[in-house]
Amino acid sequence: MSSVLEQTRRHFFSDCAMGVGSIALANLFANQNLYANTETEVAPTRLGHFTPKAKNVIYLFMAGGPSQFELFSDKPKLRELHGQPAPDSFFPKEKSFAFIGRGAKLLGSKRKFKQHGESGIPFSELLPHTGEIADDICMLNGIVTDVFNHGPAKLFMNTGFQVPGRPSLGSWVTYGLGSESQNLPGFVVLQSGPRGPRAGNALWSSGFLPSSYQGVPFRGTGDPILNLTSPNGFNRERERGFYDLVGDLNQQRYDLTQDPEIKTRIAASEMAYKMQTSAPELMDISSEPKHILEMYGAEPGANSYANNCLLARRMIERGVRFVQLYHTDWDHHGNKGDNLGEPLEKRCQEVDAASAALVKDLKQRGLLDDTIVIWSGEFGRTPMGEEREEYPGRDHHIDAFSLWVAGGGFKPGCLYGKTDELGFNVIDEKIHVHDLHATLLHQLGFDHEKLTFRFQGRDFRLTDVHGRVVEEVLA
């Protein structure tokens, strides 16, 4: 009797795997929706709720919050009022900023703007190459978000929630559609810049979804994934035997427990074996024609944003469903030089040509029609400057910022979203982050209200209880 009383609840369910424990597991699996699966593939291909316009996504994430005033949003009135105190209406009691308060002065941009293409979309002198694809992109100037600190704001833009634990956009997409690649992960993350993005791997986490849908970070140099190369003395035949043995043991455990994470481990082992051949071939961009390398500004063997853009195209060609690039150091507090100078210029030089080259390259290969390319940060910047001793900067701003989308059925040459003459508020054609997510999912063939996963007693979705499809920006 005492031995029974001393058992913990965990031991009880473990020992009763064929009794109460199996009943609980069976009930859990019965409550999963149609996308829950226990196949041996990491992410088998599936259909959405309706015929999609796109099947792949490349997300170019500029971590730090690029200033729309220096890149996309030309505000002559702001330049005219440069140095004057910002209106009191900018500082209601419920409004918070990270580094400025009432009395902050307006900061007009000194960057020159020019309209590009037949669409006439304006870009600043810092983005001449992006201006070349003006007629291929959909420029969204009325984006709003809810969170003004970097880490939580990145989480919100990537997962629809500001606290870690929710699945990322890439995880939802691969959960819904699976992957067409048998030799590479369905969701890959590439990083460039001086450091990783704030919030780290929570940005590409699968959250409460099965872990097979989480993003897999690839390194720019050396082995794409640590320890991918076989140790000395191992050949393919010996490795195949090792994987088969481990797979058989995992399968026996799965047959006993029906734990879906064991299926993930089996599939991950198989993928690792296949990637020993596929990943090095993928990462070797020296096989690309010289004119393609020059268009991107890519250099074989380098770890750069340009290389990552080219790799993103190569991954899409090989069936990877979702590729996310993070390029860091876009924060604009007290930048060296007058009026957001040197650091901003350097970031733009690093990404401008490569971002434009990616869109051009996808288009010339016939891949842009079914690939969504999105370029954004986590929020925008204030029309007011920070009062710093040496250099002016712009604070975080969530009520109006800009991003662009290309391909995948988004309307090319479209300029959508209007802000007031100082760029503080959206006055027409507003798009909340939840609306953006709903629209992206729609283009991939999903009703965002139906792409759900039951967790802790309720159905969760990327857009939570919000979001609308912005039909006006779709072709």
User: Which domains are delineated in the chain?
Assistant: 1-31 (no CATH), 38-226+274-473 (3.40.720)
Average pLDDT over residues 289-303: 96
- In one letter, which amino acid is 431? I
Quick one: pLDDT at residue 407?
A: 98
List, for residues 411-455, the tens digit of each pLDDT value. Answer: 999 999 999 999 999 999 999 999 999 999 999 999 999 999 999
Quick one: pLDDT at residue 33?
A: 39
- In one letter, which amino acid is 44? P
For residues 361 and 387, the model is more confident at 361
Average pLDDT over residues 384-398: 84
H or E segment to which residue 397 belongs: strand 394-397
Res. 23 pLDDT band, cuts 50 70 90: very low
List, for residues 1-13, the tens digit of each pLDDT value. Answer: 343 333 344 444 4
Lowest average pLDDT, out of 59-68, 106-115, 232-241, goes to 232-241
- Residue 172 reports pLDDT greater than 70: yes
Quick one: the chain helix, strand, coil %, rounded to 5?
A: 35, 15, 45
For residues 183 and 354, the model is more confident at 354
Please tell me what DSSP assigns to residue 104.
P
Is 473 in contact with 414 (CB distance < 8 Å)? yes
Lowest average pLDDT, out of 83-97, 201-215, 216-230, 329-343, goes to 329-343
| CA atoms within 13 Å, Cβ hemisphere of 84 | 10
Task: Give the contacts of 58 (CB within 8 A, at least 6 positions apart).
Answer: 312, 313, 316, 323, 324, 325, 358, 371, 372, 373, 374
Quick one: pLDDT at residue 228?
A: 67
Quick one: pLDDT at residue 2?
A: 40
- Residue 309 reports pLDDT greater than 80: yes
- Residue 24 reports pLDDT greater than 90: no
- Residue 384 reports pLDDT greater than 50: yes
What does the alpha-carbon distance between residue 207 and residue 281 come to, in Å, rounded to a whole number?
31
Lowest average pLDDT, out of 292-306, 390-404, 448-462, goes to 390-404
Average pLDDT over residues 62-86: 97
H or E segment to which residue 423 belongs: none
For residue 113, the SS3 value is strand
Proportion of the chain above pLDDT 90, given as a percent: 67
- Residue 108 reports pLDDT greater than 70: yes
Q: pTM for the full model?
A: 0.87
- Residue 39 reports pLDDT greater than 50: no
Quick one: pLDDT at residue 336?
A: 54
- Residue 168 reports pLDDT greater than 80: yes
**Six-digit token pair at 123?**
């870009």
Lowest average pLDDT, out of 90-94, 174-178, 291-295, goes to 90-94
Task: Give the contacts of 355 (CB within 8 A, at least 6 positions apart).
Answer: 60, 129, 130, 309, 375
Largest CA distance in the chain: 85
Q: Environment class of residue 341 by beta-carbon count within 10 Å: exposed (0-12), middle (13-18) or buried (19+)?
A: middle
Mean pLDDT of the chain: 87
- In one letter, which amino acid is 196? G
Average pLDDT over residues 198-226: 89
Closest alpha carbon to 405 in 435, 433, 378, 440: 440
Res. 341 pLDDT band, cuts 50 70 90: low
Quick one: pLDDT at residue 44?
A: 63
What does the alpha-carbon distance between residue 72 and residue 451 come to, in Å, rounded to a whole number?
33
**Six-digit token pair at 363?**
């288009």
Is 280 in contact with 198 (CB distance < 8 Å)? no
Task: Give the contacts of 245 (CB within 8 A, at least 6 positions apart).
Answer: none
Task: Give the contacts of 411 (CB within 8 A, at least 6 positions apart).
Answer: 138, 473, 474, 475
Quick one: pLDDT at residue 333?
A: 84
Quick one: pLDDT at residue 87?
A: 95
Lowest average pLDDT, out of 53-67, 166-180, 330-344, 456-470, goes to 330-344
- In one letter, which amino acid is 93? K
Quick one: pLDDT at residue 389?
A: 59
Quick one: pLDDT at residue 260?
A: 75
Quick one: pLDDT at residue 216?
A: 94
For residues 382 and 99, the model is more confident at 382
- Residue 118 reports pLDDT greater than 50: yes
Res. 32 pLDDT band, cuts 50 70 90: very low
Res. 16 pLDDT band, cuts 50 70 90: very low
- Residue 59 reports pLDDT greater than 60: yes
**Torsion angle in degrees (nearest 10) through CA of 363, 367, 368, 372:** -150
Is 96 in contact with 411 (CB distance < 8 Å)? no
